Structure 1
Amino acid sequence: MSGSFSRSQTVRKPGVTVDGKGVVAAQHVRAAEAGVRVLADGGDAVDAAVAVSFAIGVLEPWMSGPAGGGAMMLWRADEGKAYALNYGMRSSASLDPAFYPLAGTGKASDLFPWEAVVEDRNVTGASSVAVPGTVAGAGEMHRRFGKMRWADLLRPAIGFAREGLLIDWYAALIIASSARDLAEDADAAALFLEDGQWPKIFGWTALSDVRLDQSKMAETLEHLAHAGPEDFYRGDIAAALVKDVSEKGGFLTADDLAAYRAEWQEPLNIPYRSGNLWAMPEMTAGPTLAAAMAKWQQVYTPAYAPDATSFTAIAAAYRDAYAERLATMGDHESPRAPGCTTHFSIVDRNGNMVAMTQTLLSIFGSRTVSPATGLLLNNGIMWFDPEPGRPNSLGPGKRCLMNVCPVIGEAGEKRFALGASGGRKIMPAVGQIASFLMDYGMSMQDAIEAPRIDVSGGDQTVADERLTGAVTDALAATGPVMTAQRTPFPYAFACPAGVMREGTVNSGTTETFSPWGDGVAEPDE
C-alpha cells in the first residue's frame, strides 16, 4: 500500500529487510545507525537500545531526552519471555498542590483540557518538572541484560552533541512552532532561538550548516558515560539538576532523585486470535489496548483485507475502551494533541527485541533548559488533573499516567516489536498495526503504511482519506467522521516504528512521513 501526500502523489518509505542481521527502526535515522553499529560490535538489542535512547535525545531533543521518562517492552529470545520496564516520571514528594491554583479562565493551553492553572505553572517552567526516569530505565535495562560497556554505548550521543544538531527545514519548523514559549526561558532561548524569537536558521538552508550548541549536553553525557547512570540520581548531575530546577522555581529535590527506581512489572498478556501481544500494565495505554482488542475480536472475523466491517468494529471498541479510561484513569489528553514523544524498535540477529518509548510529555517539555547540564526538562506535572478529587488529581509522590504503548507480538512464526509517538493517538495506531500484521499477514512496511483510523476519545472518528467511500460511509453511520491526510507536519495520526522477525529474516520501518525516521540494518562484516 502507499502513503498519500496528495490525490495525485504517492509516497513510500522502503524500510529494510535482512537475513541474519539486526535491524533498528527509529524516528531519526542517525540514531538508528548508531544502534546498528552497536549490534555490529557485538551488542544485543538491549545494548543498542541504550545507545539509541541517548542518541535520539540529542538528535530529536524536543521529543525526549535524559530528563524525561517512558516505558519499554523486551523480548529475550533465549528465554522465550517478555519483560516490561516502567521508567515513567513521578511528581516530587515535596510538591505542594496549593501552588497550582485554578485560574478560573477556562481550559489549559496545551495537551490536556484541564482547568487552567495560574500562570500555567503545571504546563511550562520549572514548576512543571517531574522526577525524570529515562536514565534509570536505560541503566536498569543495561544492568540486567547489557553486554557492552555503558560508556561505549553513550559514545554516539556524545559525538552527536559535540557536532550540534543541524537545523534543517524540519528542525526549524518544530522550533518555530514553540518559539513563543521557548523565549520565556533564557537558557532555552539561548539554545534554540535567534534574537529570542526565531529559530537559528536564515533563508533557504539546503546548503547551510546552522547547528545548535549542544556542548553543555555533551559534557553531561561524557560525565554520565564515565560515572554511570546512578550519577544522574545520586551524583554530580543530580546535584546540578536539583540546583537548576530549584533556582527556576521547581519542586525537584535530591531526595526525589535518590529515591527514584525504574520498575520491572509483569507484562500484560493480550491473547489475540491465535497469537499474543505483551504490553505495559498499570499507568500506561496497555490496559486500554487490551480492552479494545478483546472487544473487537469478538465481533468480527477478518476478511481478505481491512474493510468497512473491521474498521467500524475497531472504532466501536476504541470508543468504549477510551470511555472507560477517561472515567477511571483520568486521562483527558486532547485527541487532537500534537505528537510529542519518540519511539524506536530493535531486533538483533538472535531475535532479542526492544520496543522503547520515551518522552518529555509536551514538545520541548517544560520549555525550560537546565543551564548546568544543557538538558531540556520534562513537564510531567501536566499529566495530573489540577482539580482535586479526580482519578488523576495532582499530588506529591505520584506516578504519572502515560499514553505510551510499546508492545511485543507474535503470530505463528512471526514476532514483532512495535510502538509509536503521538499522545492519545498512540494506542489506536499500535492496535491496528498489530491487527494488520496478525490478521492479514502484512509485512511491517505494509502494516505501517496502510490507512487507519483514530478514535482516541469523544465521538469523532478520524479516517485516513484513502478510506473515503465504503469505510467512511459505514463509520458515519455510527458517529461523526472526518478525513485527514498523512503529512510530515502536523501529524493527524500517530508516528509508529516497528521491527519484525520471521525465521532469521528481520525487517523494520517507521512512519512514511516521519522526515528523519527510517529502518536501518546491521552492516555486513
Structure 2
Amino acid sequence: MDIKTNKIRFVFLLILLVCLRQSLLGQDRITGRSFASRSEVIAPHAMAATSHPLATQVAIDILQQGGNAIDAAIAANATLGLMEPTGCGIGGDLFAIIWDEKTKQLYGLNASGRSPKSLTFEYFTKNGYKEIPSHGPLPVSVPGCVDGWFEMHKKFGSLPIDKILSPAINYAREGFPVTELISYYIQLSAPFLSKYPGFKDVFMPNGNAPDKGDIFKNPALANTYEKLATGGRDAFYKGDIAKTIAAYIKEQGGFLSYEDLAAHSSEWVKPVSTNYRGYDVWELPPNGQGIAALQMLNILEQYDVASMGFGSEEYIHLFTEAKKVAYEDRAKFYSDMAFNQIPVDKLISKNYAKERAQLIKERAARSYPAGKLKDGDTIYLTVADSHGNMVSLIQSNYRGMGSGMTPPGLGFILQDRGELFNIQDKNHFNAYAPGKRPFHTIIPSFITKDGKPWLSFGVMGGAMQPQGHVQIVVNLIDFGMNLQEAGDAPRIQHLGSSQPTGEEMTDGGTLYMESGFDYEVIRGLMKRGHKISYGDGIYGGYQAILKDTERGVYFGASESRKDGQASGY
C-alpha cells in the first residue's frame, strides 16, 4: 500500500473521529457538559469559593479556627482587597445576603455609600457636565465596605475582628505573588491612573506595575487594616483615616468630606424574590439592579425554555429580548429607595411579567418602552460553614480600580460609583442629589427551595450581572447542568439598553456571544435582526455553593475564566 493511500485513510479516519466527537457533544448539548473545565468541589463540613485561591484558603483557615461563614467572608474580602485591587477594596461598597441557620431566614445588607452632601445637581449643570466623570474626585461617594464588615460581624460574627483581619495584614506586610490576570489589569490601569497623586506609591513602588509572579507588598494597607482591627469601624469613618480621605479629596478639588464619612451607615434590608419553576430566587431591592434578574426570570418562565435547548437560537433570542424589556424598567425606576417610591412588588410580579412578555416578537426589537405603573469589575465570594450558615457577598470599587483617588498612607483607591447618577434630568429617579445612593450594579444572589437554603451564587461584571444570574439559574434548573458546568457554559451579554444615567436604546444594541456557540445559531440570530459580536466581550466571573440537604454536603464551583477557586473540608 503506497504512502498516498495511507494518508487518505488517515485523513478519513480523522474526519470520522471528529464527527463522532461532535455527535457525542451534540448528545450533551442541552446540559452543556462539553464546556465543563473541571468537576465540582464537594465537602461535608464547609465550603468557600472566591476569585483568588489564596483568599479561598484564608476563608477555609478561618473556618477551621472556629470562625463561622460570616467571619470567613470578611477575612476573604479583606484579603481580596489586597490581592485583587483591580476589582475591590475598602474604598468601595458591599452588598450581602446571609442565610442564618439559627433563625432559618435570609438577611440582606446594603452597605453602599452616599454622595457628598455639599455637592449639588446644579454644580454639574453650571459647569457644563453632560455626565459625571469616570475618574478623579467628582465621582467619589462614601466607601461603605468597612461599615458593611462591622455590621455583619456585629450581627452574626464569632471570632474577634483582629483575628479575622490577621491573614490579610500578614500578606500585606510579607507580600504575595501577583497572578497573571491581576497583573494584566493593574498594568492596564496604570497608564491613566498613575497621574493621580498616591497611585504610584501603592501600586508602582518600583516605578512599574507588578508582573505575574512578582511579590507585591502593601504596608500602608496593612497599617490601615491594623487600625480597623484595634479601633473598629469608627477608626475608618471618624478617625485619622476619615480625616486623611477628606483632606486628600479637598486637595484634588472634590467634595467628599469628613462629615460625609462620619454620617455614614449601612442598612439591613429585606431580600425580595420570585419563584422560578419551584425555586425561590432572592435578590436585594434597589438601589442595586438585582430585581432585573427576577423580572427576566418571570418572563422566561412563561416559555418552555428546557425544550429549546442550551445555545439554541430560540432561547438566545428570547433571553435577549427579555433582558431588553427588563432593562428599560431598570433605566427608569432603579435608584435609592430613600428618595423614591419604587414599585418593586409590581415590577417583580407575575402579572406584570405577562404584560411585558407580550412585547416580545420573533424579530429583535430596536427599542422597548419602559413599563407604565400606577403606583453601573467586582469580586464575588461565598462561604458556607458547618453550622449551615451561608454568605453571598459582592464588593467592588467600580471600573476596576476605581476613581484613581489614592489617599496618602492608606493603601487603597476610592470608588467612583457616583458616576452612575443621572445629571441629564433632575426629575429622574436616579438624578443626582446630595446624600443619595447612586444606582448600583453589584448584586449578590441566593436561592431557596421549600424554605431551605439551596444555592448561594453571584456573577461579576457591571451590566452583565443580572444577565449572568439568569443564565446560571436557567442552566441549573432548565438545562440540568451541575454547578461547575452552569458557570463554564458559554455566556451571552446584551449591551446597549437604556441606562439609569440617561442614555436611551434606539438601535437594538449589540449581542455579545462567547466562543462556543454554533455558527448556524449566530446566523439565525442575525436574520432575526440581532447585531452580533462573537468572541469579544467581558462575561463576568462566577462563584457558587450549593447545599445538598439530603446528603449533608456542600458543592462548590468557581469561575474558570479567572483565578478563582472553590475549596472545602
1:417 corresponds in structure 2 to 456
1:45-56 matches, cutoff 5 A:
45-56=69-80
Secondary structure of 2:95's counterpart equals: strand
Greater alpha carbon shift after TM alignment, 131-140 vs 309-318: 309-318
User: Structure 1 length normalisation: TM-score?
Assistant: 0.85
Would the alpha carbon gap of residues 29 and 148 (structure 1) be closer, same or farther in structure 2, given more than 3 Å must change?
same
Q: Deviations over 1:202-233 (max 9, x none)?
A: xxx66xx442x411110010111111123211
Q: Choose the corresponding residue for 1:76, options 82, 100, 115.
A: 100
Q: Is the 8 A contact 2:83 2:178 kept in 1?
A: no
Aligned match of 1:111: none
Instruction: Give 1:232's match in structure 2, choosing from 225, 231, 236.
Output: 236
Measure the CA separation in 2 of the matches of 1:309 and 1:410: 28
- 8 Å contact from structure 2 (residues 476, 483) kept in 1: yes
Q: Distance in 1 between matches of 2:206 and 2:126?
A: 33
Q: CA deviation at 1:15?
A: 5.9
Provide the aligned length of Structure 1 versus Structure 2: 483
CA contact (8 A) 1:383 1:401 kept: yes
1:501 to 521, 531, 547: 547
1:408 aligns with 2:446: yes
Distance apart, 1:318 and its partner CA: 0.8
Q: Taking structure 2 as the reference length, what is the TM-score of the superposition?
A: 0.79
Matching residue's letter, 1:439: D
Q: Residues of 1 paired with 2:515 and 2:173: CA distance?
A: 42
CA–CA distance in structure 2, aligned partners of residues 21 and 57 of structure 1: 27
Q: Does the alignment pair 1:158 with 2:158?
A: no
Equivalent in the alignment of 1:250: 254
- For residues 13 and 153 of structure 1, do their structure 2 counterparts lie closer, same or farther at Cα, with a shift above 3 Å needed? farther
1:261 maps to amino acid: S
1:293 paired to 2:293: no
Distance 1:466 1:168 in 2: 26
Q: 28, 44, 54: which is aligned to 2:68?
A: 44
Within the alignment, does 1:321 sit opposite 2:326 as a pair?
yes
**Structure 2 equivalent of residue 57 of structure 1:** 81
* Cα deviation, residue 268, structure 1: 0.8
Q: Distance in 2 between matches of 1:36 and 1:410?
A: 24
CA offsets per residue over residues 216-254 of structure 1, 9 Å max, x none? 110010111111123211223222222222233221222
| Matched position secondary structure for 1:377 | coil
Q: Cα distance, 1:449 vs. partner?
A: 0.7
Unaligned runs of 5+ in 2: 1-23, 26-33, 337-375, 498-507
Displacement of 1:351 after TM fit?
A: 2.6
Shift of 1:92: 1.1
Greater Cα shift, 387-396 or 254-263: 387-396
Please give the alpha-carbon distance, in whole angstroms, between the structure 1 residues aligned to 2:174 and 2:513: 41
Q: 1:463 touches 1:484 (CA, 8 Å); kept in 2?
A: yes
Distance 1:175 1:308 in 2: 38
Deviation readout 1:114-170 (Å, 9 max, x if unpaired): 9356xxxx3222332111100111110111011111111111111121123534543
* Structure 1 unaligned spans of 5+: 3-9, 105-113, 332-338
Highest CA radius of gyration, 1 or 2?
Answer: 2
Q: Is the 8 A contact 1:72 1:84 kept in 2?
A: yes
Partner of 1:132: 143
- The offset of 1:68, in angstroms, is 0.6
Deviation at 1:342, TM superposition (A): 0.9
Report what 2:7 is aligned to. none
Q: Distance in 1 between matches of 2:215 and 2:35?
A: 29
Seq. identity, %? 27
CA contact (8 A) 1:102 1:115 kept: no
Match of 2:48 among 8, 13, 24: 24
Distance (whole Å) between structure 1 residues aligned to residue 403 and residue 219 of structure 2: 21
Out of 433, 436, 446, the position equivalent to 2:475 is 436
* One-letter amino acid of the structure 1 residue matched with residue 543 of structure 2: A
Q: Which residue in 1 is equivalent to 2:486? A: 447
2:443 touches 2:465 (CA, 8 Å); kept in 1? yes
Please give the residue correspondences for 1:5-404 in structure 2 after superposition, counting only pairs within 5 Å: 13-14=37-38, 16-101=40-125, 115-116=130-131, 122-193=133-204, 198-201=208-211, 209-211=214-216, 213-303=217-307, 305-306=309-310, 307-329=312-334, 340-389=377-426, 390-404=428-442
CA contact (8 A) 1:15 1:518 kept: no
Counterpart residue type for residue 25 of structure 1: A
Structure 1 residue 171 displacement after superposition: 3.1
Change (3 A) 1:215 1:167: same
Q: Is the 8 A contact 2:417 2:440 kept in 1?
A: no
What one-letter code is carried by the residue in structure 2 that aligns with 1:509?
A
CA contact (8 A) 1:164 1:214 kept: yes
Rounded to whole Å, the distance in 2 between the matches of 1:172 and 1:18 is: 30
Change in CA separation of 1:468 and 1:13 when aligned onto 2, cut-off 3 Å? closer
CA distance in 2 between counterparts of 1:289 and 1:225 reads 37
Identify if the C-alpha distance between structure 1 residues 313 and 256 changes in structure 2 by more than 3 Å, giving closer, same or farther. same
Q: Is this contact kept in 2: 1:268–1:286, CA < 8 A?
A: no
Distance in 1, Cα, partners of 2:215 & 2:421:
38
Sort the Cα spacing of 1:374 and 1:19 in 2 relative to 1 into closer, same or farther, 3 A: closer
**Secondary structure of the residue that 1:43 maps to in structure 2?**
coil
CA distance in 2, matches of 1:47, 1:143: 10
Given that residues 409 and 434 in structure 1 are in contact (C-alpha distance below 8 angstroms), is that contact kept between their aligned partners in structure 2?
no
Following TM superposition, by how much is the alpha carbon of 1:474 offset from its aligned partner in structure 2, in angstroms?
Answer: 4.4
Given that residues 289 and 427 in structure 1 are in contact (C-alpha distance below 8 angstroms), is that contact kept between their aligned partners in structure 2? yes
144-153 or 232-241: bigger deviation: 232-241
Structure 2 Cα separation of the partners of residues 218 and 169 of structure 1: 23
Distance 1:265 1:259, change over 3 A: same
**1:512 is matched with which residue?**
560
